Structure 1
Amino acid sequence: MMLTPVDHETLRPLLPQFRGALSDYPLALKVFDRVTAVIPDGDLMTLSTDERHRADGVELCRQFGFGILDVDPKSHFTWDGQNVATRMEPSVLIHEVGHYQLAAPERRAVLDFGLGCGPESGKREEADAVQTLFCPERDVEEALCSLLGILWEAELGHPAILAFLEQNWMEGGANLQNVGHFKKIVRWLRDMELIDDGGRPTRNLRSEGDDTFFARWFADNS
């Protein structure tokens, strides 16, 4: 959920400020440019509900081998371990691909990826019962999934900036902490080969288990 409302007047100076703060990291610049390539006219606070975008998201899920359920996740799960519920905003659907790629192998076939009940899922007790990843590790994985999903939106030609704003990547503007977090996420996505040297998403999957993965993340202060 977007913390601070953003309109075109607010966004206009933010973009060059944030981009300028990435000048020492070319890959982060490429990622940022991909995310901000399409800026729609009008409302910047509402995710796309374009059925063409949803169809693109469904097809991307199929390409990753997801079963497709034409149901609202409120009556099911967002991800039931094999199938994705598709009656949701395209951005949210594509975000599930990021979750699939970034989940530890042992959680990939677990309800809602073992993260507990997602905000769209309706069967809270069942999803929470199999949760194995908690904060702060869960927040780390969510951030990685967020940017990877946004890059898939950009790859599909969707207005990825909307999810970028909605998921608060520019909250706080170009301050050191915010920019540093963005750079670290980009670097880790590249190190896992989940994005390429041009900042485009790949179809690779994370192979490392949770114990070593998060130990390395929290030890990485660079």
Structure 2
Amino acid sequence: MILTPIDTEDLPAVLDRFEQQLDGKPLALAAFRRIARSIPPDGSLGDPAAQRAQAVELAGRLGIETLDEDPAVAFSWDGRFIRTRSEPSVVIHEIAHWQLCTPERRPLYDFGLGAGPESGRVEEADRVMALSQEEGQDEEGLTSLLGILWEADLGQPALLAFLEQNWLEGYDRPATASHFERMLKRLHAGGFIDDEAHPLPAARQSGQIL
């Protein structure tokens, strides 16, 4: 949910202002420019069916099994499958969760983070929560950003998720740009993005600290 909605007419100026805040931050600039330009001038958002197929193909490249089923019948991630009858951005977000989750938590419903917003069996997912709220929020932030970078790399409208997940909240404050850069640097240090902020098909290893 967007905390502070941005009017469409104001968006170009907001994006320009945030880009100015990233001056001297090459990794963040590379990432942001791809995200900001992920929606073409005509406003086309692409074909969701084709985008979902891209997400399923990406999961396959990473060795993640998928199931053509609505997460509401069970879980977005049930310890083996990502259920893919969701928005393409949601499927990609789940892929990023798989990448950033420790191997020990991958067998848990919804990665041991508590029930995802689309999972139907909420109590079961919540019972296997394995992180504190603070730890979960931190991993969720990294996951959000990695998923957005995958969307941009796949030619999907990553800017929508960037807005919806509040990366531009407080866009005119230096702290917002610094947070964006800091999270990117953590993904880079972990081997999940390259020097140009393109996402990589990596998976977190046992004992790896993000």
State the SS of the aligned residue for 2:186.
helix
Match among 94, 99, 102 for residue 101 of structure 1: 99
CA contact (8 A) 2:150 2:199 kept: yes
Cα deviation, 1:88-126, whole Å, max 9, x if unaligned, reads 000011001110111122112211000011111000111
Letter in 1 for 2:132: F
Corresponding residue number in structure 2 for 1:90: 88
CA contact (8 A) 1:18 1:174 kept: yes
Corresponding residue number in structure 2 for 1:35: 35
CA contact (8 A) 2:55 2:91 kept: yes
Corresponding residue number in structure 2 for 1:9: 9
CA contact (8 A) 2:104 2:206 kept: no
How many angstroms does 1:188 deviate by? 0.2
1:13-28 correspondence runs (5 A): 13-28=13-28
| Unpaired stretches in structure 1, ≥5 consecutive residues | 218-222
CA contact (8 A) 1:48 1:91 kept: no
| Unpaired stretches in structure 2, ≥5 consecutive residues | none
Name the CA distance, whole Å, in 1 between partners of 2:5 and 2:121: 31
> RMSD in angstroms over aligned alpha carbons?
1.9
Change in Cα spacing, 1:116 to 1:43, as seen in structure 2 (3 Å) is: farther
How many angstroms does 1:197 deviate by? 0.5
CA contact (8 A) 1:27 1:186 kept: yes
CA contact (8 A) 1:66 1:84 kept: yes
How many angstroms does 1:40 deviate by? 4.5
- Normalising by structure 1, what TM-score? 0.88
How many angstroms does 1:49 deviate by? 6.7
Name the CA distance, whole Å, in 1 between partners of 2:100 and 2:191: 11
Name the CA distance, whole Å, in 1 between partners of 2:50 and 2:170: 33
Change in Cα spacing, 1:3 to 1:49, as seen in structure 2 (3 Å) is: farther
Name the CA distance, whole Å, in 2 between partners of 1:58 and 1:97: 9
Q: How many residues align?
A: 210
Cα deviation, 1:47-98, whole Å, max 9, x if unaligned, reads 8771111111111112222222111101110001110110100001100111
Change in Cα spacing, 1:49 to 1:131, as seen in structure 2 (3 Å) is: farther
Letter in 2 for 1:140: D
How many angstroms does 1:42 deviate by? 7.8
Corresponding residue number in structure 2 for 1:183: 181
